Amino acid sequence: MKHKEEAVAKVYNLFISHSWSYPKAYDGLVGLLNKRSYFFYNNFSVPKDDPIHITGTDTRLYNAIKNKMTTCHVVIIMAGVYATYSKWISKEIDIAKSGFLYPKPILAVRPWAQTKVSTLVSQNADDFANWNTESIIGKIRALTP
């Protein structure tokens, strides 16, 4: 008797770097990921309403970010020029690149309708995706073993 083998869908653990000063970019990126059926992911980003943003120290936030990244397959960073001036994006890149035994791949996403990208992000990204669902998901899959 032949048994039907069910394919188990991979679930991607993602850390989406973001600036709460630009919530539309983060919300838009999550919206793009949610558009794709049969793409399953866990979002390990630090939520906006997490009290560590308000009451925590830089050290506590750094450790919280590192803990969130621990099980992530890919770190996604918006590649807008604002990223160059964010101290937390540079710290997130540092954590992804040197905070673990094996570096976490960084996927830079070019913001919609922007031609300029952050030099900091460009120099540290393992790959770039355009602002569309298929490009982002294709690059996430390519960066994940």
CATH code, domain carrying 24: 3.40.50.9200
Query: How far is 123 from 107, CA to CA, in rounded Å?
Result: 12
Q: Ramachandran region of residue 138, left (φ > 0), alpha (ψ -120 to 50) or beta?
A: alpha
- Say if 6 falls within a structural domain: no
Verdict on whether the full-model pTM lies above 0.95: no
Query: How far is 75 from 20, CA to CA, in rounded Å?
Result: 17
pLDDT at 83: 58
> Measured over all CA atoms, what is the biggest interatomic distance in the chain, rounded to whole angstroms?
62
Query: Domain residues for 35?
Result: 11-143
Domain count, the chain: 1
- Say if 139 falls within a structural domain: yes
- Say if 23 falls within a structural domain: yes
Q: Which of the four pLDDT bands, split at 50, 70 and 90, describes residue 1?
A: very low
Burial zone of 58 (CB within 10 Å; 0-12 exposed, 13-18 middle, 19+ buried):
exposed
Residue 130 has pLDDT above 70, yes or no: yes
